[in-house]
Amino acid sequence: MDVLIAILALLGCVLLGWLLADSLWSLILGCKAHVWPHIKGPDADLVSRFGSWAVVTGSTDGIGKAYAMELGKRGVNIVLVSRNKQKLEEVANEIERECQVNTKVVVADFSKGQTVFDYIERELREIPVGILVNNVGRNYTHPMYLAEVPEQELWDILNINIGATTMMTRMILPQMQNRKRGAIINVSSGSELQPLPLMTVYAASKVFVKSFSEALRYEYQKDGITIQHLSPLFVNTKMNAFSHRLQTNSVFVPDAKTYAHNALNTLGKVNSTTGYWAHGIQYALTKIPPVWIRTYIGGLMNQVFRKDYFKSQSSEL
């Protein structure tokens, strides 16, 4: 019995030590990502490190537009890929005017699936892409039970969140391999942390992005390619317009410009991050309870957001 107690005590000490070490390492990475850039200043020399051109998908609004602008401020030429030609040209003109870099626009609707990628590849054939930001994404228009979600909306989520990330990465990787440098930034979501009732398919698609990024990093680490996985929590963008609670800037709900500035500072410093310090705190706290509790809380939150949406719809009538 004494031997058994000693073994259990030893296992407990090992487990406690591992948890403490893991927490300490997370804290170190957090400081490296979010504190050190404010001391040293942001890494402005992205061109020499990764290359002179970046491709940003979903770049006419929200995080994508803010990322494109932030990259432009650091001297990177930008290829903007989205479905609205007019908005693409407006963003391109804004970036060229404010950042003094070159831009190119590619009109593509990722919801169309396989048919768009041959065209995109032709448009990018002469562009030496150093940074790919797989930002384009589609969420539910509002929290819904699965049987309520229009079939086309589900196909759009699958084609955009999973298909675009996969095929854009496959398209750009060979040229990065040849140059032995480059960075691929895959934008996921904090919803990857647990099954998320009333946004079931959206959350599942973000689990794909996380797994895809981590496996890809193993496959291409020998080629000098940085694979970064971003998992933001709530950001004040149109994607979260289903609730007024998410349309007001705060410490925990930053606007897209604030988020992109902080997130780009982490590139090359950490491989997996929320991109924003306050989101990092939320992410760490969210991971503490077991998955079933996280799932239950996520369901309760989406019930609140669902009520917000229907209330706003009724008030507009």
Instruction: Report, as residue numbers or ranges, the catalytic residues.
Output: 202
CA nearest 276: which of 44, 72, 69, 30?
A: 30
What CA–CA distance (Å, rounded) separates 109 from 76? 24
Query: How would you classify the pairing of strands 103-107 and 272-273?
Result: unpaired
Give the separation between CA 83 and CA 116, rounded to whole angstroms.
Answer: 11
SS3 content of the chain, % helix, strand, coil (to 5): 60, 10, 25
Helix (H, G, I), strand (E, B) or coil at 159: helix
Return the DSSP state at 80. E
CB 232 within 8 A of CB 275: yes
Q: Locate 295 and state its tokens.
A: 């799932």
Instruction: Extract the runs of DSSP E, i.e. beta strands, from 208-287.
Output: 225-230, 272-273
**CA–CA gap between residue 192 and residue 210 (Å, rounded):** 7
Rounded Cα distance, 207 and 217, in Å? 16
> CA 7: distance to chain centroid?
43
Spell out the residues 6+ positions from residue 171 whose beta carbon is closer than 8 angstroms to its own: 117, 120, 121, 124
